[in-house]
Structure 1
Amino acid sequence: MTATSPQPGDAAPDDTPTDPDAPTRAEIRAVVRGLMIVLALGALDQSIVATALPRIVGDLGGVTHMSWIVSAYVLASTSVMPLYGKLADQYGRKPVLTGSVLAFLLGSVLCGAAHSLPQMILFRAIQGLGAGGLMPLTQIIIGDLVPVARRGRRQGMVASVFALCSILGPIAGGVVTDLLSWHWIFYLNLPIGTAALLVITRALRRFHHPVRARRIDYPGALLMSAATTAFLLVLTLGGVEWPWASLPTAGLAAAALLLLFLFVRHIRRVPEPVLPPGLFHDRLFVVASLVLALAFMGLMGAGLFFPLFFQRVMGVSPSHSGFLTGPLMIGVVVSSVINGRVLLRSGRYKPAQIGGLTLALAAFAILGWASATARGLGVIEPAMMALGLGLGLITPNMTIAVQNALPVAHRGVGTATLAFFRSLGGLAGVAGAGVILAWSVPPSVGSGQDPAAMIALYRHAIATTFLVGAAVIALSLVAILFLPERPLATGRTPPPDSGTDPQAPRTSRSA
């Protein structure tokens, strides 16, 4: 039978393709349940640890280096994302995901047993090496099992899980730390991770096939990780540990550029590079990476200051400020759910992303105005929800667009590299927001400052951050206009480890 494309107004089909080798609806649900547990494992850990940080450094000492407990995790997880995609393409999804979860659990056990701050930082890096594969591999496996045209609902669940965990994590972190100790926030990952492994092992059994032995580009992987880590260290240390114009910052930036040059030269010369250069010959992939990097640069940079705005400017308590950020996450969940159904019916991914970025741009502009002119929660809370609604329309659709465009043999590394650029943009946004805050509220401003003057300084800094975020989102909106829109495939394409020809034509029966 020939492939058919969904038409606007068609009834939304279920997730089960009709070719005989496709997974059933029950099998897809079983896999997705396991994948959502995997996602929750990483998402909950980040928010729980952030809540317990004061107690951790209180026991281990070294409060001046507290941020490295978070930075080590983020640096490690971001630097290995593309590598996980390549490994999944070469050795199959199931063993690589299993290895990722096991590495995360090993790091969790070590963190729970840490007796000093250097140990904690090192073990958090190990935990991050495992966490780097959780989200990309989840998206890759969903891409394997669900046809592109029917994938919006499943990919939207990814954003929903992260949004819900960002709400539940701080609550769980506070309860566990108070009732037990901070050690248990890491040990509790063990039963969750074990449950995820059991579900995934059973659910993915039918979809695991032997693979042909292939060469792994270990030198390329090392160069890529080293270049990424050096660049992220510039973002992390610049303006914090070292001045931006200092010799150490310049030296680290030069090392990052040199390593990047060596990496690009290397992948052009080897037959199976860890990051195929052909990815960047596809205009859709290049534009998609740029759009997501810019979008998350604005969103993460400005979003970082919501708690600071509520506490320092509006004078609410820390617990209350967490509650006030709820509309942002509610917006993400709502738009993720709606997006899957709209994409399912229309078969188009670009209009929703343009709408999402436009909504995010308007939300940031309103937040900047509201912050600068001392508007109340009646203006700020709806704008935050609008920002969440816009955010929930961007990432799932862009992941679907990239998976639809790339050949099957590069789907894994392409999906993981897209997540890498998104994370990189977010980190750059956080670093830029820190620069704006340091410039607007200099360290010389002390406790003796007039409270009204202090509020005015913070108000100006946060309003500036929101407006800069709006400018970055505007750049992302311009960039997405160059994104090609290609028809969504309606059939399921087997993963590259299934023994089928990756270039074989895609077919499906009429839904």
Structure 2
Amino acid sequence: MATSLDATAASGSAPAMSHRKVLEALSGLLLGMFVSMLASTVVSSSLPVIIHDLEGNQAAYTWVVTATLLTTAISTPVWGKLADLFNRKLLIQIAIVIFVLATAAAGFSQDTTTLIAFRAIQGLGAGGLAALSQVIMADIISPRERGRYMGLFGAVLAVATVGGPLLGGVITDTWGWRWNFFVALPFAVLALIILQRTLHIPARARRKVHIDYVGIVLLASAVSLLLIWITIAGDSFEWWSLQSALMVGGALLAAILFVIVELRAREPLIPLTLFRNRTFSLAVIASIATGIAMFGASVYLSQYMQLARGATPTEAGLMTIPMIAGLLLASVGVGALITRTGKWKPFLIVGAVSLIAGASLLSTIHYDTNFVLVSVYMFLLGAGVGMTMQNLVLIVQNTSNPNEIGVASSGVTFFRSLGGTIGVSVMGAALASSVTSLVADRTKEISAAIAGLGDSGTAVAAQLQSGTIPAVASLPDTVRVIFEDIYAQGISHSFLIAVPFAIASLIAIIFIPNKPLTRMTTSERIAASEADLATVSVSEGMDTLGASASPETDAPTTPITTRTRGDQR
């Protein structure tokens, strides 16, 4: 059957693109993803400085990250659905424009509320880039060949994730943190030009469009209420309180209504029929853990380097290189191996094990842990993310209906972003609670250290009592050591949250059906299915014609000839 499909596709669609043509088509996509990642990561190393300057607390720190992840998660399935309905090339260009303009606007923020708002708009564009890049790749590259090109995306991700914090640190230390938000603008303009010139996607048949607006609102409501509750419960009100009951109840009600609407919608935002596909369902579970590890580590490792080890923004960027090296080597190397061997499951299992090991070991770090050990832990976590992140999308695309590639790809990306959003929120809430508790436990020790500073202790006490994240590196040594220990314990404990999810990811990957990767692109699969349908229709039409036609008309046909010979005998 596979041979006939390949033959049909070959005859019914454009010939397969050469490696050079594929690279040309992907150049704009790769640059667009680079712009997205650079604009996101360039801020990560300077975020402690930004929040301190804007007089924000730990909750604000968490929400500056969570706002982007939240809108990315919510908008990803929307973009995926639009990709199945509209011009994909135009959509990804729109996504780049939204992302970069919102990023630049964030550079003018005067308080954390404004910064969070622009970061939320930024996430709308990021969702488009995350979903559409995967969908467009499926249009032009078969799953079997996609492994090595997925490696290129992993390499771009790694370069941006390494270069972003380094560049952000240098910019912050040299010109100030606001310039971090403007650095992506020239790259975005170049990406738009290259996309226009090099990306050529096979035309798709026009059809009437139906957007699930009610589903969008309900999904946004459910996720937002849940994350807001996680962030402010235990601080603004008790975990077990009327406010908690109302917020959790509202989130559950919105989620139930969302399911009901999706079951009845003409073109649902996330077709629940996708969950009938065992590969999709298990990949979603695995993607949640990957999202928690990827986003949680990138956010809180930078905070660990600056608040627990006294690093500058530039030094913090350099110190996270081991994690990115693991991600880069695993993503590129495993992508090439999948293409060469056609086997994917062993690599995903190894990636999940590496994810568990990295998260578990990072939960043991202290402010004075040997940095060589911290580097090994980060490398393991990065390698786990590199082996699982893109390849989970790959195996879903391999088994999904080619007409639902957009929603299937964005569905996995959505749950990865959702996992990252919830993970960052929960880790941030745990960190804030842990730091508050540790500070309360060591009040006498902190007071004694401040008292020993004499007159200068008044300014230090005022900074610590303001509720904002302190500039730990600038504190006097006697006070700094205490707070480095407090933040190190808080951040390391927050990594424990990722461990059970990583274990769940391993279990899910083990049970994913080990189906071979097809060598057909999405466009070829659609052409093949249409050709098969046409063949079946013609065959059925001929059978109907033969059954209803008169004997005189059909005298030469085989059945009548056979019967005639039988009568003559």
By the TM > 0.5 criterion, same fold? yes
8 Å contact kept, 2:231–2:429: no
Q: Which amino acid aligns with 2:515?
A: R
Change (3 A) 1:387 1:75: closer
Q: Which amino acid aligns with 1:260?
A: A
Shift of 1:187: 3.7
Q: Identify the residue that residue 35 of structure 1 maps to in structure 2.
A: 29
Tell me how far apart the structure 1 counterparts of residues 109 and 488 of structure 2 sit (CA, whole Å): 39
Q: Is residue 490 of structure 2 the alignment partner of residue 472 of structure 1?
A: no
Change (3 A) 1:319 1:222: same
2:395 to 390, 401, 404: 401
Q: Which amino acid aligns with 1:97?
A: I
Q: Is residue 202 of structure 2 the alignment partner of residue 207 of structure 1?
A: yes
1:278 to 273, 277, 288: 273
Q: Which amino acid aligns with 1:220?
A: G
8 Å contact kept, 1:92–1:211: no
Tell me how far apart the structure 1 counterparts of residues 432 and 114 of structure 2 sit (CA, whole Å): 30
Shift of 1:142: 1.2
Tell me how far apart the structure 2 counterparts of residues 461 and 396 of structure 1 sit (CA, whole Å): 30
Please give the per-residue CA displacement for 1:210-234, whole angstroms capped at 9, x wherever unaligned.
Answer: 5223222222222223323223323
Structure 1 alignment gaps of length 5 or more? 6-15, 507-511
Tell me how far apart the structure 2 counterparts of residues 410 and 23 of structure 1 sit (CA, whole Å): 22
Q: Identify the residue that residue 63 of structure 1 maps to in structure 2.
A: 56
Equivalence map 1:152-163=2 (5 Å): 152-163=147-158
Shift of 1:140: 1.4
Equivalence map 1:175-324=2 (5 Å): 175-177=170-172, 182-205=177-200, 207-209=202-204, 211-239=206-234, 241-298=236-293, 300-301=295-296, 304-311=299-306, 319-324=314-319
Tell me how far apart the structure 2 counterparts of residues 385 and 3 of structure 1 sit (CA, whole Å): 42
Q: Which amino acid aligns with 2:417?
A: S
User: Aligned residues: percent identity?
Assistant: 31
Segment drifting more, 129-138 vs 319-328 = 319-328
8 Å contact kept, 1:94–1:208: no
Shift of 1:29: 0.8
1:146 to 135, 141, 145: 141
Q: What secondary structure, in the 3-state scheme, does the structure 2 residue paired with 1:244 have?
A: coil
Q: Identify the residue that residue 332 of structure 1 maps to in structure 2.
A: 327
Aligned residues: 492
Q: Identify the residue that residue 382 of structure 1 maps to in structure 2.
A: 376
Equivalence map 1:27-106=2 (5 Å): 27-53=21-47, 61=54, 63-64=56-57, 66-67=60-61, 68-106=63-101
Structure 2 alignment gaps of length 5 or more? 450-477, 534-569
Please give the per-residue CA displacement for 1:58-94, whole angstroms capped at 9, x wherever unaligned.
Answer: 77x5534743443332322221111110100111321
Q: Is residue 358 of structure 2 the alignment partner of residue 363 of structure 1?
A: yes
Q: Which amino acid aligns with 1:427?
A: T
Please give the per-residue CA displacement for 1:144-193, whole angstroms capped at 9, x wherever unaligned.
Answer: 11110111111122232222212211232344456556554334433222
Segment drifting more, 382-391 vs 126-135 = 382-391
Please give the per-residue CA displacement for 1:437-470, whole angstroms capped at 9, x wherever unaligned.
Answer: 3454315245337767766655554554445533
Shift of 1:207: 3.1
Shift of 1:311: 4.9
Tell me how far apart the structure 2 counterparts of residues 286 and 503 of structure 1 sit (CA, whole Å): 27
8 Å contact kept, 1:144–1:494: yes
8 Å contact kept, 2:231–2:428: no
Shift of 1:402: 0.4
Segment drifting more, 429-438 vs 355-364 = 429-438
Change (3 A) 1:503 1:57: same
Shift of 1:397: 1.6
Q: Identify the residue that residue 420 of structure 2 maps to in structure 1.
A: 426
2:408 to 414, 418, 422: 414
Q: Is residue 513 of structure 2 the alignment partner of residue 484 of structure 1?
A: yes
The TM-score with structure 1 as length reference comes to 0.85
Tell me how far apart the structure 1 counterparts of residues 483 and 115 of structure 2 sit (CA, whole Å): 35
8 Å contact kept, 2:45–2:314: no
8 Å contact kept, 1:234–1:252: yes
Q: Which amino acid aligns with 1:448?
A: S
Q: Which amino acid aligns with 1:262?
A: L
Segment drifting more, 242-251 vs 414-423 = 242-251
Q: What secondary structure, in the 3-state scheme, does the structure 2 residue paired with 1:272 have?
A: coil
Shift of 1:44: 1.1
Aligned-residue Cα RMSD (Å) equals 3.4
Q: Identify the residue that residue 23 of structure 1 maps to in structure 2.
A: 17
The TM-score with structure 2 as length reference comes to 0.77
Shift of 1:198: 1.3
Tell me how far apart the structure 2 counterparts of residues 432 and 358 of structure 1 sit (CA, whole Å): 23
Q: What secondary structure, in the 3-state scheme, does the structure 1 residue paired with 2:85 have?
A: helix
Please give the per-residue CA displacement for 1:397-433, whole angstroms capped at 9, x wherever unaligned.
Answer: 2111000011011111111111111111122222332
Q: Which amino acid aligns with 1:390?
A: G
Q: Identify the residue that residue 135 of structure 1 maps to in structure 2.
A: 130
Change (3 A) 1:372 1:111: closer
Of the two, which has the highest radius of gyration?
A: 2
Q: What secondary structure, in the 3-state scheme, does the structure 1 residue paired with 2:193 have?
A: helix
Equivalence map 1:166-177=2 (5 Å): 166-177=161-172
Segment drifting more, 345-354 vs 284-293 = 345-354
Q: What secondary structure, in the 3-state scheme, does the structure 1 residue paired with 2:447 have?
A: coil
Tell me how far apart the structure 1 counterparts of residues 47 and 370 of structure 2 sit (CA, whole Å): 31
